[in-house]
Amino acid sequence: MRKWFSILILLGLLMVPLSAKAQSTLGFDTVDVSVRPEYDTPTVLVIEMITLAPKTTLPADIVLRLPASVAKMYVVAVGASQDTVSDQNVEYKLAPGSDYARLSIKATALTIRLEYYDSTLLKTGNKRQYVYQWLGDYSVDKFRFELRQPLQSSNLSVEPALASIGLDEEGLSTSEFKQVGVKQDQKLDFTIKYQRETDSPSTAFLKVQPSTPLDQNVAGQTSWTTFLPWILGGLGLVLLLIAGWMYWASRSANQEAAARSRKRHVVRNEKESETGENQAHCSQCGKRAQAGDRFCRVCGARIRRDEA
């Protein structure tokens, strides 16, 4: 019995260093760091995209040291790739410290995206200085450091030197540093110096540009000129209807006025006939003359009327 007990203890002692060794061999396939001083705040925006080694056993417990000034993580996202990371239901904890803050993450997938602001940017008049440190918590097969220079800045210098790669989609000058095979505990320091006459962030100077030229046909966008013929045609039809209605109304009014005039004339003649006013008879044949007759309609004799 003692023999088996001793064997179990020996196996347990052997498993402890094996487990510690397995944890220590955890490494990163790629690390892509993007540093943006005075981008949208007076501090420095740091974005780190980390890809774990393909053979990493998931879930994996990741612990990273961050600058002590970092009191809050703005993004901690995990996913299968850079395009599918999500910050939903991610388990992490940020523990502050005097030297460093420690970020613990339960990685359920191979890709991790981190975003935080570092307030250690030094400002002396118009001079700026910032130091980014990769502290070597894990080995990295492919390491990339990227700097996006603030707008309205000049006299930029970086140690170690970076290679320029042009402007990004927002017009910020971008440069990079690449290194293959960064070992665990190997530190990388990047010292950034530049001059700037304003404290406004770069976003205050960004010009909003359309995604496509405004004179192009964009899906879902219709130019008003497409409907111009229909608008003019509809307007012309409305004008014709208005003109037709005015003509009909004017004609109807004239017809009603003429009818009223004829009615008044007939009524007047009837009244004159009824009352006998202005009635006369031919002095020759005795035929009654009609109103307005000057000669008899039968014998042609002159009609004599009594003067009122």
DSSP 103-146: EEEEESSSEEEEEEEE---EEETTEEEEEEEE--SS-EEEEEEE
* pLDDT for position 248: 82
CB 256 within 8 A of CB 262: no
Of the pLDDT bands very low, low, confident and very high (cuts 50, 70, 90), residue 308 is very low
109-123 pLDDT, tens digit per residue, is: 999 999 999 999 999
Residue 252 has pLDDT above 60, yes or no: yes
* pLDDT for position 122: 97
Residues near 87 by beta carbon (within 8 Å), at least 6 away in sequence: 75, 76, 77
* pLDDT for position 178: 98
Please tell me what DSSP assigns to residue 282. -
CB 48 within 8 A of CB 103: no
User: Looking at domain 25-205, which CATH architecture does it have?
Assistant: Sandwich (2.60)
Cα–Cα nearest to 36, from 242, 175, 210: 175
Residue 71 has pLDDT above 60, yes or no: yes
SS3 278: coil
* pLDDT for position 21: 39
Q: What percentage of the chain exceeds 90 in pLDDT?
A: 58
Residue 287 has pLDDT above 90, yes or no: no
* pLDDT for position 23: 43
* pLDDT for position 269: 55
158-213 pLDDT, tens digit per residue, is: 999 999 999 999 999 999 999 999 999 999 999 999 999 999 999 999 876 555 55
CB-side neighbour CA atoms (13 Å) of 169:
4
Of the pLDDT bands very low, low, confident and very high (cuts 50, 70, 90), residue 22 is very low
Mean pLDDT computed over 267-276: 54
Give exposure, 81-110, as e/b (b: 16+ Cβ within 10 Å): eeeebeeeebebebeeeeebbebebebebb
- Better-scored residue on pLDDT, 106 or 291: 106
* pLDDT for position 207: 75
Of the candidate ranges 148-157, 233-242, 283-292, the one whose mean pLDDT is the lowest: 283-292
CB 97 within 8 A of CB 69: no
Alpha helices in 195-285 (DSSP H): 228-275
d(CA 76, CA 105): 8
* pLDDT for position 46: 98
Residue 58 has pLDDT above 90, yes or no: yes
Residue 260 has pLDDT above 50, yes or no: yes
Of the pLDDT bands very low, low, confident and very high (cuts 50, 70, 90), residue 60 is very high
Residue labelled with tokens 């892509």 = 32
Beta strands across the sheet bearing 140-148: 75-79, 111-118, 44-52, 28-37, 140-148, 173-182, 163-167
Backbone angles phi, psi at 297, to 5 degrees: -75, -15
Burial of 35 per CB tally in 10 Å (0-12, 13-18, 19+)? buried
Of the pLDDT bands very low, low, confident and very high (cuts 50, 70, 90), residue 3 is low
Mean pLDDT computed over 255-266: 66
Mean pLDDT computed over 140-157: 98
- Better-scored residue on pLDDT, 4 or 78: 78
pTM greater than the 0.85 cutoff: no
- Better-scored residue on pLDDT, 292 or 146: 146
